[in-house]
Amino acid sequence: MEEKDLPESEETALSHPDYAEEIVALVRGNTSPGLLREKLLSYHENDIAEALSKLNRDERARIFNILDGETLSDIFSYMDDIGPYFGELSIRKKADILAHSDADVAVDYLKQLPKTDRGTLIDLMDDESKREIALIGSFDEDEIGSRMTTNFVTIRVNYTVKEAMRALIRQAAENDNISTLYAVDEGGTFCGAVGLKDLIVTREGTPLSTIIRTSYPYVYAHETVDECIDRLRDYSEDSIPVLDEDNKILGVITSQDIVEVVDDEMGDDYAKLAGLTEEEDLREPLFHSLRKRLPWLTVLLFLGLAVSSVVGLFENVVQHLTLIVCFQSLILDMAGNVGTQSLAVTIRVLSDEKLSGKGIAYLLFKEMRVGFFNGLLLGITSFLLVGAYIVFFKGQPAALAFTVSGCTGAALLLAMTLSSLIGTVVPILFHKCKIDPAVASGPLITTFNDLVAVVTYYGLAWLFLIKFLHL
């Protein structure tokens, strides 16, 4: 078929303007400050944030001077690292931005600044902002309270719908998270939540208690992220309240906060699987990176020495049959791969489910069964391929070739089965000892599996090829 050109209107619809480049051109032009401000406000804050990285310091200063703290706080909320740009601002502009930011965001900003600047900035802020920042900062980083925002709306449980709507209007100027309203009693105790849609469609004189969802989910501020992350993920709510020990609302976790928490947890898990104590930052000092990596590497060094020592025990086997050394990496790699797979499955199961003794037994049996049948299929395949390789590329007799390949296939079967067992047992033991199973990291499991593979491979070669067949 002959390709037809798109109509001009469709071509236009399929193209997307580069707003960031438009902003760059606008800033570099001769536009007056007043007109520049007016035009900048017509763009989305995310596009302005992207444009900042393409401008030099003097050009960014034009934007910083004409935009107020509230607008700049919205722009910075779309940036992962505000440190370099924050340093270009005056101390009062910084304080203005922090005052217009949600408390949790302000705390994150402050953490990116030198300690000497933090106290000065906090002193310049109003009492309410200071109180909210102090509240968020009072929680440890692994507690969910450190991730909450104080941007939310509360209404009294004894209000009518009309009274609740008036309360919403009063608070909406300072709090823009209005899709869900939280009902409290006279003492401030959390009683439930009301959706904005339900509030709008319900008649004015109706008691609010008739539309309150009393079973609305919540978390406690001192709960760790690990403890409540699954509950937060299970609810598709715009926000979830964070309570103190007296069931009073301190703040809320928004859907965006939940996404960030999940992302951070995934980053930490990836770090642990790599043998790190925590996720590393791109600009992290050398000493900090060394401190995170060195402990596990030291442990793995001694385990590696143990593996090497075991290989030395089979020196006689290597001297008699140097051919088998060619296939050592095959056994080690496959054992490591299957062990890592079992590790990943086990960590996932342990994080999602509370396993009974019966459940643990079933998991062990299932993973060993998977490892056995995968090992059986791959063992048969390696028997044929390794045998053919020795015959055609090494020029050895078929009898010798397939005897060696048979030993390789048997070792592969046994090593993969045992590696599946190790990859399952180790994280379960860590979990039972109240240690995060993710620290049973990939490098640790791989090293254990290397040991198993070496003993299995060279042990079978010594037993069958040398002692039994006298090759």
**Quick one: pLDDT at residue 62?**
92
Whether the model clears a pTM of 0.85, i.e. scores above it, the answer is no
The architecture (CATH level 2) of 14-142 comes to: Alpha Horseshoe (1.25)
Give the Cα separation of 383 and 398 in Å (integer).
12
| Residue 268, pLDDT above cutoff 70 | no
Give 283's pLDDT tier (boundaries 50, 70, 90): low
For all residues of the chain together, what is the average pLDDT? 83
| Residue 418, pLDDT above cutoff 90 | yes
Q: Where are the domains of the chain?
A: 14-142, 154-273, 286-468
List, in sequence order, every residue forming a beta bridge with 249; answer none if it has no partner: 243
Q: What is the mean pLDDT of residues 425-429?
A: 86
The C-alpha angle 222, 74, 94, rounded to 5 degrees, equals: 85
Give the Cα separation of 28 and 47 in Å (integer).
16
Beta pairing, strands 190-195 & 219-220 = unpaired
**Quick one: pLDDT at residue 262?**
65
Query: Which of 90-99, 154-163, 447-456 is most confident?
Result: 154-163
Give the Cα separation of 470 and 466 in Å (integer).
4
**Quick one: pLDDT at residue 12?**
47
**Quick one: pLDDT at residue 10?**
47
Residue bearing the bigger pLDDT, 266 or 362: 362
| Residue 378, pLDDT above cutoff 50 | yes
Least confident of 95-99, 225-229, 392-396: 225-229
Give 11's pLDDT tier (boundaries 50, 70, 90): very low
154: CB partners within 8 A, 6+ apart = 167, 171, 181, 182, 183, 184, 249
Residue bearing the bigger pLDDT, 297 or 190: 190
Residue bearing the bigger pLDDT, 337 or 87: 337
User: In one letter, which amino acid is 300?
Assistant: L
405: CB partners within 8 A, 6+ apart = 382, 383, 384, 385, 386, 387, 390
411: CB partners within 8 A, 6+ apart = 331, 453, 456, 457, 460, 461
C-beta contacts of 2-10 below 8 A and 24+ residues apart:
none
Max CA separation in the chain (angstroms): 97
User: What count of Cα atoms within 13 Å lies in the side-chain half-sphere of residue 11?
Assistant: 5
Q: Is the dihedral of CA 130, 131, 135, 138 positive or negative?
A: positive
Least confident of 300-304, 433-437, 461-465: 433-437
Query: Which of 181-185, 296-300, 460-464 is most confident?
Result: 181-185
**Quick one: pLDDT at residue 48?**
92
Give the Cα separation of 168 and 8 in Å (integer).
47
CATH fold match for the domains 14-142 and 286-468: no
| Residue 426, pLDDT above cutoff 90 | no
Instruction: Provide the token pair at 277.
Output: 């104590």
Least confident of 84-98, 117-131, 262-276, 413-427: 262-276
Confirm or reject CATH 3.10.580.10 for domain 154-273, answering yes or no.
yes
Which class would CATH give 286-468? mainly alpha
Share of the chain above pLDDT 70, in %: 87
Give the Cα separation of 336 and 420 in Å (integer).
9
Give 94's pLDDT tier (boundaries 50, 70, 90): confident
| Residue 9, pLDDT above cutoff 60 | no
